[in-house]
């Protein structure tokens, strides 16, 4: 084995997640495969309902066990996530893997102060005295650049602005020094100025602490600021993947091309936005072929036969589209 080989921090292989109800089965994630190296930021990009957040929650086993059916393989730092139960699963959550939720006002407990909530997390996973935990909480609030951090420890969530609540949520997620950080659209509810501040802060903390990060967003601008690699999701599948600069400069999949064309960045002020027609498919009744075919301007008969297999025209790039050229064999 190569002495320079570094095993992936996260390995997800053929992950499927379905939600079973009396009325129907919703196929939310359909054969997702990806990996994340230590210190790397993977950005999962896509429209609402594409399976991004479900994928993150599956990694922490936060989906309702009575209705969610999870299959495939998920390994974090060598641990089989689907095999964990009880105390082992609790140690994974918050200790090895932490999550920043989309809306901190609903994720934070309204009847406990910010300091109490950070202290509880720290004591649960690291032990120690209350005084040591409170000192760590203060250190974290200063780390995420909350002004007057000492007094903010005793504030309740409703006493903080949206930007400060999000920073407090980041502080809580980092309290136990996780190796993997999951961020579920953490800047969506913030105004543009605060959003940029939080993105810069997250990227700095990620680099300083050497965390692997999976960042979920539907915003191409956010992805370009924070990601090392991008995985584009549609209808529960990753349809394109590659280094962020390559994907944004030369998108291979028609869906990624449509996302790029439907943004205001780089568009003429007097030009209409070229939006993707139609709507995402019903996850209860996925089409037989490519899920994007009903909305695709490049669709052909072969697109409706079966879901496209992944193709890699160049090293490090992947797209699930029959129009993408396959690599030429070396012996050709």
Specify if 25 maps to a domain.
Answer: yes
Specify if 166 maps to a domain.
Answer: no
226 contacts 199 by C-beta, under 8 angstroms? yes
Specify if 91 maps to a domain.
Answer: yes
Which tens digit of pLDDT belongs to each residue from 198-239? 888 888 888 888 899 999 998 888 888 899 999 999 999 999
Q: Considering its fold, how many domains does the chain have in total?
A: 1
Lowest mean pLDDT among 107-116, 136-145, 319-328: 319-328
Q: What is the side-by-side order of every strand in the sheet holding 212-217? A: 97-100, 180-184, 212-217, 41-45, 229-234, 237-243, 318-319
Write down the residue that tokens 């490049």 correspond to.
298
- Give CA–CA dist 134/124, Å, rounded: 13
pLDDT tier, 330 (very low <50, low <70, confident <90, very high otherwise): very low
DSSP 19-71: EE-SS-EEEEEEEEEEEE-TT-EEEEE--TTSSHHHHHHHHTT-S-TTTEEEE
152 contacts 162 by C-beta, under 8 angstroms? no
10 contacts 179 by C-beta, under 8 angstroms? no
Specify if 194 maps to a domain.
Answer: yes
Average pLDDT value for residue range 279-293: 92
Specify if 24 maps to a domain.
Answer: yes
125 contacts 94 by C-beta, under 8 angstroms? yes
pLDDT above 90: residue 82 = yes
Average pLDDT value for residue range 111-130: 92
Q: Mean pLDDT for the chain?
A: 89
Specify if 245 maps to a domain.
Answer: yes
CA 112 remoteness from chain centre:
28
pTM for the full model? 0.90
Strands (E) in 37-153, as ranges, are 41-45, 68-76, 79-80, 97-100
Specify if 321 maps to a domain.
Answer: no
| Residues of the domain holding 283 | 10-101+179-287
Output 206 or 5, whichever has higher pLDDT.
206
- Give CA–CA dist 192/164, Å, rounded: 14
Q: What CATH number has the domain bearing residue 29?
A: 3.40.50.300
What are the phi and psi torsion angles at 14 (to 5°)? 50, 45
pLDDT above 50: residue 163 = yes
CA angle 173, 176, 180 (to 5 degrees): 65
pLDDT tier, 301 (very low <50, low <70, confident <90, very high otherwise): very high
- Give CA–CA dist 275/148, Å, rounded: 45
User: Which helix (H) or strand (E) segment is 234 a member of?
Assistant: strand 229-234
What are the phi and psi torsion angles at 184 (to 5°)? -100, 90
pLDDT above 70: residue 329 = no
| pLDDT at residue 265 in the model | 59
- Give CA–CA dist 262/241, Å, rounded: 19
| pLDDT at residue 268 in the model | 62
40 contacts 271 by C-beta, under 8 angstroms? no
- Give CA–CA dist 175/156, Å, rounded: 18
Average pLDDT value for residue range 108-125: 93
C-alpha closest to that of 318 among 244, 221, 253: 253
Specify if 154 maps to a domain.
Answer: no
């Amino acid at each position: 084995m190569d002495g320079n080989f570094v095993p992936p921090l996260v390995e997800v292989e053929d992950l499927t997640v379905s939600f079973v109800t009396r009325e129907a089965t919703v196929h939310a994630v359909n054969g997702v495969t990806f990996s994340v190296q230590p210190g790397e930021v993977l950005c999962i990009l896509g429209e609402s309902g594409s399976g991004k957040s479900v994928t993150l929650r599956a990694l922490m086993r936060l989906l309702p066990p009575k209705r969610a059916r999870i299959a495939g393989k998920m390994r974090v730092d060598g641990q089989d996530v689907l095999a964990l139960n009880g105390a082992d699963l609790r140690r994974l959550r918050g200790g090895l893997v932490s999550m920043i939720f989309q809306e901190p006002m609903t994720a934070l407990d309204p009847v406990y102060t910010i300091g109490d909530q950070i202290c509880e997390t720290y004591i649960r996973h690291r032990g120690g005295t209350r005084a040591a935990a409170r000192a760590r909480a203060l250190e974290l609030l200063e780390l995420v650049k909350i002004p007057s951090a000492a007094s903010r420890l005793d504030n309740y969530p409703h006493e903080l602005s949206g930007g400060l609540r999000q920073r407090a949520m980041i502080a809580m997620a980092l309290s136990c020094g996780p190796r993997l950080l999951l961020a579920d659209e953490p800047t969506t509810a913030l105004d543009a100025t605060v959003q940029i501040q939080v993105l810069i802060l997250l990227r700095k903390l990620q680099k300083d602490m050497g965390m692997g990060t999976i960042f979920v967003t539907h915003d191409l601008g956010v992805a370009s600021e924070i990601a090392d690699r991008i995985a584009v999701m549609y209808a529960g599948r990753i349809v394109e993947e590659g280094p962020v600069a390559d994907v944004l400069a030369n998108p291979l999949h028609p869906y990624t091309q449509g996302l790029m064309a439907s943004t205001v960045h780089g568009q003429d002020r007097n030009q209409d936005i070229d939006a993707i027609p139609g709507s995402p498919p019903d996850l209860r009744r996925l089409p037989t072929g490519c899920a994007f075919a009903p909305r695709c301007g490049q669709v052909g008969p072969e697109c409706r036969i079966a879901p496209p297999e992944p193709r890699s025209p160049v090293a490090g790039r992947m797209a699930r589209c029959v129009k993408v050229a396959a690599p030429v064999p070396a012996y050709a």
